[in-house]
């Protein structure tokens, strides 16, 4: 390809990149709830953490759902498995957040939003987001009380965090 052809290709690619940069939300207007992707809605309904408990997870506090997944590999007893399952089920409180986001979206879609309803809706959403995060962190904290230090080390190694020896500084 000659220099002119190369220049044209670069200009087209650059132009496409600039167009995408100017419309980063293109396509999102068709979402059922504009502020939440289908994946986020599915994660909230399934009780997945979506990074809400990284402070715990990455500092040696295993997550209940991952404990259930790794139960055989880390030798969880039936009591430990049942406890982890119960904690995971208790973390499934995302429906309230989905409903609140849908209500906020509807206020905007109906052009019925006011400063007062905006303040009330975002305050409720913020409270629910904080409660959701606290629940996820609380259950990560609770797992440590039911696990042996060796199980926490195995968990950390299986999750790719090393052997977990440095992370396990919390009281059992």
In DSSP notation, 9-69 reads: HHHHHHHHHHHHHH-TTTTGGGSSSTTS-HHHHHHHHHT--TTTTHHHHTTT---HHHHHH
Number of helical H runs and strand E runs in the chain: 9, 0
CB 85 within 8 A of CB 68: yes
pLDDT tens digits in sequence order for the chain, 172 residues long: 555 555 444 444 455 555 555 788 998 998 999 999 999 999 999 999 899 999 999 999 999 999 999 999 999 999 999 999 999 999 888 999 999 999 999 999 999 999 999 999 999 999 999 999 999 999 999 999 999 999 999 999 999 998 654 555 555 4
| Cβ-Cβ contacts under 8 Å for 6 (sequence gap 6 or more) | none
Give the Å distances, CA to CA, from 8 to 5, 14, 18. 5, 10, 15
pTM of the model: 0.78
């Amino acid at each position: 390809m000659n220099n002119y052809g190369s220049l044209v290709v670069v200009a087209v690619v650059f132009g496409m990149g600039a167009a995408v940069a100017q419309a980063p939300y293109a396509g999102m207007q068709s979402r059922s709830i504009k502020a939440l992707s289908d994946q986020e809605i599915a994660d909230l309904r399934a009780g997945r953490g979506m990074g809400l408990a990284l402070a715990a997870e990455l500092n040696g506090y295993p997550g209940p759902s991952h404990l259930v997944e790794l139960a055989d590999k880390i030798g969880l007893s039936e009591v430990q498995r049942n406890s982890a399952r119960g904690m995971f089920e208790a973390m499934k409180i995302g429906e309230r957040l989905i409903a609140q986001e849908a209500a906020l979206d509807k206020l905007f879609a109906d052009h019925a939003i006011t400063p007062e309803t905006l303040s009330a809706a975002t305050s409720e959403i913020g409270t629910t987001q904080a409660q959701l995060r606290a629940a996820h962190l609380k259950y990560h904290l609770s797992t440590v009380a039911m696990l042996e230090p060796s199980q926490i080390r195995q968990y950390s190694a299986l999750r790719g965090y090393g052997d977990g020896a440095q992370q396990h500084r919390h009281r059992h």
